[in-house]
Amino acid sequence: MLGRSQSRDRTAVEGLADASAAILAGGQGRRLRAVTGCMPKVLAEVRGRPFLKYLLEQLAAAGVKHVVLCTGYLGEQVQDTFGDLYCGLRLDYSQELSPLGTAGALRLALPLFRSHSVLAMNGDSFCEADLVAFWARHCEWDADATLLMTQAPDTRRYGHVRVDGDGHVLGFDEKNENGHPGWINAGVYAVKRDLLELVPPNAPVSLERQMIPGWIARRLYGYQSAGRFLDIGTPEAYREAQAFFAQGAAT
The pLDDT-based confidence of 251 (bands split at 50, 70, 90) is very low
Ranges 26-35, 104-113, 205-214: which has the least confidence? 26-35
The mean pLDDT value of the chain amounts to 90
Distance between CA 245 and CA 85 in Å, rounded?
A: 23
- Domain-embedded: residue 223: yes
DSSP lists the bridge partners of residue 93 as 69
Residue 13 pLDDT exceeds 90 = no
The whole-number pLDDT of residue 140 equals 95
Residue 193 pLDDT exceeds 50 = yes
The whole-number pLDDT of residue 32 equals 79
| Average pLDDT estimate for 167-186 | 83
Between 161 and 247, residue with greater pLDDT: 161
- Domain-embedded: residue 61: yes
The whole-number pLDDT of residue 176 equals 59
The whole-number pLDDT of residue 4 equals 43
Q: Say if CB 55 and CB 123 are below 8 A apart.
A: yes
| Average pLDDT estimate for 185-193 | 96
pTM (2 decimals)? 0.91
H/E/C letters for each residue in 157-175? Answer: CCCEEEECCCCEEEEEECC
- Domain-embedded: residue 205: yes
The whole-number pLDDT of residue 17 equals 95
Q: What is the CATH number of the domain that holds 128?
A: 3.90.550.10
Distance between CA 240 and CA 245 in Å, rounded?
A: 9
The whole-number pLDDT of residue 31 equals 76
Residue 34 pLDDT exceeds 80 = no
Domain that holds residue 220: 4-246
Ranges 73-77, 83-87, 176-180, 221-225: which has the least confidence? 176-180
Residue 108 pLDDT exceeds 60 = yes
Distance between CA 130 and CA 61 in Å, rounded?
A: 10
H/E/C letters for each residue in the chain? Answer: CCCHHHHHHHHHHHHHHHCEEEEEECCCCHHHHHHHCCCCHHHCEECCEEHHHHHHHHHHHCCCCEEEEEECCCHHHHHHHHCCEECCEEEEEEECCCCCHHHHHHHHHHHHCCCCEEEEEECCEEECCCHHHHHHHHHHHCCCEEEEEEEECCCCCCCEEEECCCCEEEEEECCCCCCCCEEEEEEEEEEEHHHHCCCCCCCCCCHHHHHHHHHCCCCEEEEEECCCEEECCCHHHHHHHHHHHHCCCCC
- Domain-embedded: residue 251: no
Amino acid at 137: R
The total domain count for the chain is 1
Question: Per residue in 197-248, pLDDT tens?
Answer: 999 999 999 999 999 999 999 999 999 999 999 999 888 889 999 999 987 6
Q: Which of 88, 81, 85, 82 is nearest to 65 (CA)?
A: 88
What share of the chain has pLDDT > 90, as a percent?
74
